[in-house]
Amino acid sequence: MKRFIFRRLGYAAISLVLLSVTIFLFVRVTGDPTVLLVEPGASRDDLEALTIELGLDRSLVVQYVSFVRDVVQGDFGRSFYYRTPVLELYLSRLPNSLLLAVAAMIFSLAIGIPSGILAAVRVGGWWDGAGKIFALLGLSMPSFWVGLLLILFFSVYLGWLPSSGSGTVWHLLMPSFALGWFFAAAHMRLTRSSMLEVLGSEYVKLARLKGLPEALVIAKHAFKNALIPVLTLAGINLVLMVNVAVVVETVFAWPGIGRLLYEGIAFRDFPVVQATVLLAGTMIVVVNLVIDILYAVIDPRIRYER
């Protein structure tokens, strides 16, 4: 167990190093970093001052070490636009993103799990077919278009919901639905296949043999076990939702991390873009690590693999 955890930690550490190297190198190799890291319209003196401050005249290795040292200390530079440290900005937006992600998750599970179970119980039937179409549509309709259609219908025609901003529950409804839509399809598909697997297992057969009503077999015996992989995926997806909401947050002017990233591009505020990407990658590496370790704790077979 210890060996498994150490090896897994090692992989995660390598991933984080590679992540920082990727981001560091792309900025410096693909163009002139001073153009990205200095505010637009800076004078020659500013440029030279920054070249020296960032050590752009020194070797890449030295530059990398100082880049990592800053990042580890939580120094992601200053935003050109807001003139505050990037980390502060990021942390101030994080709660909004979390709120949106949790709401979107509730939507996606509330749609995905029941429809997945129905599709599995009536496999091959009408509902299964409808579920397939829904899954395909979910994967094919870009979330930002769903968002725009929602605005068109609920804000412009019906005038029921505010089209942008944040503050009340009403503001939260449309963006979380638009964001949850895509994930609902994924959750439905996984619920369906995991439910099918459980329904074919021995203990479900036994439960049926001893004469339990089918509804009880599904609700009490099958459902609980089928839920485990779905909830794992939901855990990963929650972190993804925090980080992929750029378009949805832009459509609804929701003040989260995605919106921050969008402002970063729109105002040519490169330190913000860089920090957002770095933190997104870090979050996902860490979540994958935690889930792998949790799985190894629960299921001993995983520890001895490879």
Partner 1 sequence: MSVSPAPARLPPAEPLPLGLGLGAVRQRAQGLPLVPIAIVATLLLLAVFADLVAPHNPEIGALAQRFKPPAWSVGGSSEYLLGTDHIGRDVLSRLIFGARVSVIVGFTAVIFAGVLGTSLGILSGYLGGWVDQVIMRVTDTWLALPALTFAIFLAAIVGPSEFNIIIILGAVYWTRYARVIRGEVLSLKERDFVRLAIVANCTKWTIMRRHLLPNVLNTAIVLATLMLGVVIVTEAALSFLGVGVPPPKPAWGLMLADGKKGLMAGYWWLTVFPGLCIVLMVLSANLLGDWLRVKLDPQLRQL
Can residue 123 be called a binding residue for partner 1 (CB under 8 A)? Answer: no
For 44, other C-beta atoms within 10 Å of its C-beta total 7
Which of 212, 240 has the CB closer to partner 1? Answer: 240
Take residue 120 and report the two structure tokens written for it: 């599995």
Least distance between partner 1 and beta carbon 273 (Å): 5
Q: Give ∠ CA 180-98-292 in degrees, rounded to 5.
A: 85
The number of residues making up the chain comes to 306
Q: Which of the ranges 50-58, 116-124, 146-154, 197-205 carries the binding residues for partner 1, by CB under 8 A?
A: 146-154
Which of 156, 298 has the CB closer to partner 1? Answer: 156
SS3 85: strand
Can residue 306 be called a binding residue for partner 1 (CB under 8 A)? Answer: no
Which of 23, 207 has the CB closer to partner 1? Answer: 23
How far apart, in whole angstroms, are the C-alpha atoms of residue 275 and residue 82?
Answer: 14
Q: Which helix (H) or strand (E) holds 68?
A: helix 60-72
Instruction: State which of residues 104, 174, 199, 261 lies at the interface with partner 1 (CB under 8 A).
Output: 261
Tell me the three-class secondary structure of 170-189, residue by residue: HHHHHHHHHHHHHHHHHHHH
Least distance between partner 1 and beta carbon 228 (Å): 18
Take residue 237 and report the two structure tokens written for it: 């997806």
Which of 166, 243 has the CB closer to partner 1? Answer: 243
Instruction: State which of residues 212, 238, 240, 290 lies at the interface with partner 1 (CB under 8 A).
Output: 240
How far apart, in whole angstroms, are the C-alpha atoms of residue 305 and residue 199?
Answer: 27
User: Which ranges of the chain would DSSP assign to H, the alpha helix?
Assistant: 2-29, 33-37, 44-53, 60-72, 86-121, 126-140, 143-150, 169-199, 202-209, 214-216, 223-244, 246-252, 257-266, 270-298, 300-303
Can residue 285 be called a binding residue for partner 1 (CB under 8 A)? Answer: yes
How far apart, in whole angstroms, are the C-alpha atoms of residue 256 and residue 184?
Answer: 21
Can residue 104 be called a binding residue for partner 1 (CB under 8 A)? Answer: no
Can residue 216 be called a binding residue for partner 1 (CB under 8 A)? Answer: no
How far apart, in whole angstroms, are the C-alpha atoms of residue 294 and residue 305?
Answer: 15
Which of 86, 207 has the CB closer to partner 1? Answer: 86
Residues binding partner 1: number (CB under 8 A): 50
Can residue 267 be called a binding residue for partner 1 (CB under 8 A)? Answer: no
- Judged by CB under 8 A, the chain residues 2 through 41 that form the site for partner 1 are 11, 14-15, 18-19, 22-23, 26-27, 30-31, 36
Q: Give ∠ CA 168-171-176 in degrees, rounded to 5.
A: 120
How far apart, in whole angstroms, are the C-alpha atoms of residue 49 and residue 229?
Answer: 53
Instruction: State which of residues 79, 97, 115, 163 lies at the interface with partner 1 (CB under 8 A).
Output: 163
Take residue 298 and report the two structure tokens written for it: 């629960």
Can residue 149 be called a binding residue for partner 1 (CB under 8 A)? Answer: yes
Q: Which residues of this chain interact with partner 1, rule CB under 8 A?
A: 11, 14-15, 18-19, 22-23, 26-27, 30-31, 36, 136-137, 139-142, 144-145, 148-149, 151-152, 155-157, 163, 240, 243-244, 246-247, 250-251, 261-262, 264-266, 270, 273-274, 276-277, 280-281, 284-285, 288
